[in-house]
Structure 1
Amino acid sequence: MTDPLALRAEAEHLASPMPTLLAEAEHLATTVILGEHGRRRAGLGDTFWQYRPAQDHDEARLIDWRRSARSDSTFVQDKEWQIAQSVLLWIDRSASMGFTSLKSGETKGHRARVLALATSILMVRGGERVGLTGLRLPPRRGAQQIEQMASILAEDETTEYGSPATDGMLPHSRALFISDFLGDLSGVEDALLRAADRGVGGALLQILDPQEEEFPFDGRTIFESMGGNLKHETLRARDLKAEYLERLAERKDRLAHLARTAGWQFHTHHTMQSAMSALLWLFGALERKR
């Protein structure tokens, strides 16, 4: 299991203005925050959107006691501006994301977690509310929210491949899905359809290891999934390269098409590349278009 404190520290390092290497990225993030992406506004918004059950993190002052008096539960009013300022993230933590061929040992899952936290840190600094899809961590601001997110993201899942969760995705909010997207894409398609129905815009970030992009295998090779449930042995791995690369290209094209259809953006990032390049792309992709 990844150490949540170490994960938080690396994400903070990636999102901070120092060292000098990160100064340009911090300047870009500040420009985005001061523009359309993260304008601070007074108050919580005026237009009522919906009632929702109160969560543990909701302050007592936010509870609508008149509505709550009519039932056995407590309720909070969601305002339109609050929803519009919310960004929900789904980060694939399945076994597939544990793969790496790099000498540094950095896995796809580790890069995905760091990018998710770095993006969230910068958004919170700009006045945004961030959370995770599902009902475990609804969107909220503050350093404590980032700490809770780091703790949850440090947990691994036992499934071979991940599929996006869409519970808790607020209407007219934004969302970010980060995965290798090497499993069944039907879950991604369903998630994007649900997002489009709710007016949710967002981005898909695919993270791949260099070996998954290049297929540098030759001769006798045993391919085994990270979860150990899938296995294939071949005596002539090179003969599979052309077909593999063709199918990978088809998968990227399908992901790009699904994203365009839902009004989202799609990008592929490799773990050998700078994490900062992906962070800057994410900020541009998640900027609200008005």
Structure 2
Amino acid sequence: MTQRPDSGAALQLRRAAEAQASVLPPLLVAAEQLAATVQLGAHGRRRVGVGEEFWQYRPVQHGEDARFIDWRRSARSDAQYTREREWQLAQSVYLWADDAASMQFAGDGNGPTKAERARLLALALAVLMTRGGERVGLSGPLAPPRPGRAQLLTIAQVLAGASSEAELGAPEVAGISAQSRAVFLSDFFGDLDHLRASVGALADRGVQGVMLQVLAPEEEDFPFQGRTIFESVGGTLRHETRKAADLRARYLDRLAARREALAHLAQTAGWQFSTHHTGSPAQGALLWLHAALGRGA
């Protein structure tokens, strides 16, 4: 005789499961689905010992907190040293997904906005890094790097609610610690001098990084013809022309010059740079981001 399951208990279990699932932001669900399409090994840099066991001494880097200096070891030489531990080798990774108004552009409207794609890639990368034992967080004060799945929920909530009134974005780098890694996702249409100063300051602190330029296909192809009104998403910039096609060559030259400047900046700082279009699958960009971090590790 077969015993039928208690339908009441089954219904209660289903409701509990649905309630638990509803807590997860849709962005986190999408990021985990994207990360699941990428088969990768552990990315963590841990090599010996567990927890905070001693690994090795290393010279203190400019900008590091003095409380980590090992004064007994430093007294035996003219240099100052810190005790490097296993959890420090699993370096912190700081993510910046530009949320400025320019990132709300979605081209023909059928695809994601640049901001949506940047947030998805940032969180999917966080999923992969967390699986590898890394400490992941956001630049700025809202989600400093921490390990574990609970951190992913924090990052997702901050990213999902992020919105800036600024027309063009700029990374917040003051809180990024020395010897860590940084990932910037943006259209990088903002002040190039500010970006140079930010990346240069991070490179001086031993921060290795990745810059991924996220563009809509129309920003790359410039398919406009005839009378066209160009207006920034924030509404602060507006230009009307009767012959949009005449602007194409000059626009593409300026875009190429900006991309060349970004690539040169990355090369000078020892960083990695690439461009991703929202009309392309996100998997390729995620693979590149993960590999680029590995090359800089």
Q: TM-score, normalised by structure 1?
A: 0.81
Deviation at residue 80 of structure 1 after TM alignment: 5.4
Q: Equivalent residue for 2:30?
A: 10
- One-letter amino acid of the counterpart of residue 152, structure 1: V
Distance 2:24 2:192 in 1: 29
1:230 matched to which residue of 2? 237
Q: Distance in 1 between matches of 2:202 and 2:151?
A: 23
* Cα distance in 2, alignment partners of residues 124 and 89 from structure 1: 13
Look up the match of 1:125: 131
Matches within 5 A, 1:27-46: 29-30=40-41, 33=42, 42-46=50-54
> Which of 192, 200, 214 is 1:193 aligned to?
200
Change (3 A) 1:40 1:151: farther
Distance 2:276 2:241 in 1: 29
| Matched AA of 1:5 | P
Conservation of the 8 A alpha-carbon contact between 1:83 and 1:171: no
Instruction: Quote how far apart the aligned CAs of 1:44 are.
Output: 2.1
Please, which runs of 5 or more residues in structure 2 have no aligned partner?
1-22, 68-81
Q: Note the C-alpha offset of 1:39.
A: 5.8
Structure 1 residues 52 and 83 mapped into 2: Cα distance closer, same or farther (>3 Å)?
farther
Which of 98, 101, 104 in structure 2 is aligned with 1:98?
104
Over 4 Å off, 4+ runs = 36-41, 47-53, 77-81
Render the CA deviation track for 1:130-149: whole Å, top value 9, x for unaligned.
Answer: 01112222110111111111
Instruction: Report the identity percentage.
Output: 48
Q: How many residues align?
A: 253
Alpha-carbon distance change, 266 to 289 in structure 1, aligned in 2, over 3 angstroms: closer
Distance in 2, matches of 1:222 and 1:41, equals 61
Aligned CA distance change for structure 1 residues 44 and 213 (closer, same or farther; 3 Å) = same
Alignment of 1:93-172 (within 5 A): 93-154=99-160, 155-172=162-179
The residue aligned with 2:259 is: 252
Identify if the C-alpha distance between structure 1 residues 91 and 39 changes in structure 2 by more than 3 Å, giving closer, same or farther.
Answer: farther
Give the unaligned 5+ runs of structure 1.
Answer: 17-21, 54-76
TM-score calculated relative to the size of structure 2? 0.79
Query: Partner letter of residue 274 of structure 2?
Result: H
Structure showing greater Rg: 2
